[in-house]
Amino acid sequence: MLKRVLSVFLIFTILLCGCGRVSSEAGAVSEAVDDNYRNYYEIFVRSFYDSDGDGIGDLRGVTEKLDYIADLGCNGIWLMPICPSDTYHKYDVLDYCDIDDEYGSPEDFDELVAECHARDIRLIIDLVINHTSSGHPWFIEATDYIKSLGDDETMDVSVCPYVDYYHFTKEDKGAGWEKVAGTDYYYECNFWSEMPDLNLANPAVKEEIEHIADYWIDKGVDGFRMDAALHFEEGDTDFNASTLAWLYDYCKAKNPDFYMVSEVWADKSTIASYYESETPSMFNFALADAEGDICKAARGKESASKLVDRMIECDDLYSDTYVSYIDAPFITNHDMGRAANALQSDETSVKMAAAILLSMSGSPFIYYGEEIGAKSKGKLDENKRLHMNWSSKDMTGITEDPQNADQNIEQVFPSVEEQIIDSESIFNFYRTALHLRNQYQEIARGEIQRYSGITTDSDDQAVVVKTWNDSTLYIAYNTADSEAKLTLDGKYEIVGQLNAAGGKSKVSGGKLKMAPRSVVYMKKK
Ligand code: CA
């Protein structure tokens, strides 16, 4: 509420001033902008916050922590799957229109939606349509029918429509196919025997998915995170992109602001081809993970200039395909080792990765715990999805780790409780970067261009410019371990600085002096 009052006051002040400062001042009231450029926070509900003491995180726990997420500066949440499922991660769905009992009830979800919207947070949920659980009633019906067939009978869709919901065949196609027990039939299951692949070309399946979309849109969700879009039909980009386009158009007809971000875990040219779907976002896997450009530049293993090249290459490719795309950059997600592992538990590198991510165009995604430098261990998925470390003293709300996770994985950085009160913490670094991002709309929305008006002696520094709504912001990167001096081409003022290694950046005598490993935001005077 305070923010809204301040915004109204600022707008009023700007109107009174009535001069050319309106456009640059507009950045100061940016939190009033209501679009799909958001700072997303990815939550694995099981490991986030337990509201009732049974050791399992739940929807009410997420609701209890909304003020934390809003204060951090995020205004979007992605919930990993919440529908009934037999697995701890719930990526194999038993019922698409219900909430898993472990997480709560449909009413708890309604309350979460209402509380998100009261805070201007958009809520998107994982939608897993590549496959169902092998325990889903559709698959049970289909396989029961197949098992009932005599030796001289073949499948008849008019008798059991569910056999056309999946891919069944008598042909042995090898890997990615499993036998229906006790029959000559195989079914497609590219991820796991208990995750049979849906036949998304079947109009009856599409109709079912439309009903599922209806259910969630009517419950107030603001978007879907589309799981495994690369695998809808293996190797068939046109089909997969057109499937995204069909569902997005359907959802958008119900809610013009509907958002969709899809998982296409592939290189940038493949990602670009999925933008043919003209759906808003694809996760930018091209720059993510331990060996991606964000982490490499954050560790000082790739120059600022190379990083900027890579950001511009992605933007050129993606915008050529779909001019209205919204990039979805991230450092790591639930399928990857934690960012702090990729960055070798080095606090400066962890902060620099945050500074880079949160300077990028589009809607960045932060995986819960990344904002405190949470650690994972090895390649086991459960070890990438550990409990949120809220406090080292008070165990309230802290969840049990997934069953197969290693015990007592060491955390290098302190708990949320300790980091919140430490102005130099990773948490407060993220918070500052996110609030700057909310203040200066150009960071997310402006088209990125290299700016050669400001010169530097080394590739370890680079400058880009972004303009949005007649307001221009200059973003300077220094990936070197040492201070850097850049020569300015006019009068600039620093409006924000993210100094991962500490120190201070400043403008004086026609130079921008950058602290080691820093990102600086400037406006022309
Ligand atoms: Ca619980």
**Does the pLDDT at position 12 exceed 50?**
no
What's the confidence (pLDDT) of residue 377? 97
Tell me the mean pLDDT in the region 18-47: 66
Tell me the mean pLDDT in the region 429-439: 98
What's the confidence (pLDDT) of residue 260? 98
Q: How far is the CA of 44 from the centre of ligand 1 (A)?
A: 13
Q: How far is the CA of 57 from the centre of ligand 1 (A)?
A: 5
Q: How far is the CA of 126 from the centre of ligand 1 (A)?
A: 20
**Does the pLDDT at position 17 exceed 80?**
no
Q: How far is the CA of 53 from the centre of ligand 1 (A)?
A: 6
281-282 and 518-524 strand pairing: unpaired
Q: How far is the CA of 111 from the centre of ligand 1 (A)?
A: 16
H helices within 219-361, ranges in order?
237-254, 268-274, 293-298, 304-321, 339-342, 347-357
Radius of gyration of the chain (CA): 24
Q: Which of 464, 459, 460, 457 is nearest to 486 (CA)?
A: 457
Q: How far is the CA of 388 from the centre of ligand 1 (A)?
A: 14
- As a whole number of angstroms, the distance between CA 496 and CA 30 comes to 15
> In this predicted model, what pLDDT tens digit does every residue of 278-329 receive, in sequence order?
999 999 999 999 999 999 999 999 999 999 999 999 999 999 999 999 999 9
Is the model more confident about 17 or about 286?
Answer: 286
198, 165 Cβ separation under 8 angstroms: yes
What's the confidence (pLDDT) of residue 151? 87
Which pair of tokens denotes residue 360?
């990028």
What CA dihedral angle connects 390, 89, 231 and 369, to 10 degrees?
10
Tell me the mean pLDDT in the region 245-259: 98
Question: How deeply is 197 buried, as exposed, middle or buried, from its count of CB atoms within 10 A (0-12, 13-18, 19+)?
Answer: buried
29, 15 Cβ separation under 8 angstroms: no
352, 378 Cβ separation under 8 angstroms: no
Paired residues of 41 in beta bridges: 77, 366
Q: Which of 237, 177, 215 is nearest to 98 (CA)?
A: 215
Which pair of tokens denotes residue 331?
């450092």
Tell me the mean pLDDT in the region 180-198: 97
**Does the pLDDT at position 426 exceed 70?**
yes
Q: Which of 3-17, 194-208, 317-331, 469-483 has the lowest mean pLDDT?
A: 3-17
What's the confidence (pLDDT) of residue 406? 97
Annotated catalytic residue: which of 126, 197, 222, 227?
A: 227
Give the single-character DSSP code of 401. P
With cut-offs at 50, 70 and 90, classify the pLDDT of residue 18: very low
Exposure class string for 384-402: b at 16+ Cβ within 10 A, else e: bbbbbbbeeeeeebbbebb
What's the confidence (pLDDT) of residue 19? 32
- As a whole number of angstroms, the distance between CA 229 and CA 244 comes to 8
461, 477 Cβ separation under 8 angstroms: yes
**Does the pLDDT at position 23 exceed 70?**
no
Q: How far is the CA of 50 from the centre of ligand 1 (A)?
A: 4
371, 323 Cβ separation under 8 angstroms: no
- As a whole number of angstroms, the distance between CA 198 and CA 233 comes to 9
Q: How far is the CA of 106 from the centre of ligand 1 (A)?
A: 15
- Sign of CA pseudo-dihedral 250, 254, 257, 262: negative
In the block, which residue shows the tokens 């560790």?
Answer: 299
- Mean of the per-residue pLDDT values of the chain: 94
**Does the pLDDT at position 21 exceed 50?**
no
Question: How deeply is 173 buried, as exposed, middle or buried, from its count of CB atoms within 10 A (0-12, 13-18, 19+)?
Answer: exposed
Is the model more confident about 250 or about 3?
Answer: 250
With cut-offs at 50, 70 and 90, classify the pLDDT of residue 8: very low
Q: How far is the CA of 393 from the centre of ligand 1 (A)?
A: 20
- As a whole number of angstroms, the distance between CA 210 and CA 200 comes to 12
- As a whole number of angstroms, the distance between CA 304 and CA 458 comes to 9
The shares of helix, strand and coil residues in the chain, as percent rounded to the nearest 5, are 35, 15, 45
CA–CA–CA angle 429, 432, 438 (5° rounding): 140
pTM attached to this predicted model: 0.93
Which pair of tokens denotes residue 316?
């050129």
413, 388 Cβ separation under 8 angstroms: no
- As a whole number of angstroms, the distance between CA 171 and CA 115 comes to 51
Q: Is 263 a catalytic residue?
A: yes
In the block, which residue shows the tokens 């620099």?
Answer: 352
- As a whole number of angstroms, the distance between CA 463 and CA 441 comes to 18
Annotated catalytic residue: which of 42, 263, 382, 460?
A: 263
461-468 and 449-450 strand pairing: antiparallel
* CA-to-CA separations, 465 to 270, 308, 490, 511, 514, in angstroms, rounded: 27, 11, 14, 17, 17
Counting residues of the chain whose pLDDT is more than 70, the rounded percentage is 94
- As a whole number of angstroms, the distance between CA 211 and CA 217 comes to 10
> In this predicted model, what pLDDT tens digit does every residue of 343-369 receive, in sequence order?
999 999 999 999 999 999 999 999 999
* CA-to-CA separations, 407 to 108, 336, 395, in angstroms, rounded: 31, 19, 16
**Does the pLDDT at position 10 exceed 50?**
no
Contacts of 268 (CB under 8 A, 6+ apart): 284, 286, 313, 314, 317, 318
> In this predicted model, what pLDDT tens digit does every residue of 499-516 receive, in sequence order?
999 999 999 999 999 999
Tell me the mean pLDDT in the region 52-81: 98
Q: How far is the CA of 56 from the centre of ligand 1 (A)?
A: 4
In the block, which residue shows the tokens 């679009």?
Answer: 35
Q: Which of 346, 355, 363 is nearest to 413 (CA)?
A: 346
23 φ, ψ (degrees, to nearest 5)? -65, -40
Q: How far is the CA of 62 from the centre of ligand 1 (A)?
A: 11
> In this predicted model, what pLDDT tens digit does every residue of 172-181 receive, in sequence order?
999 999 999 9
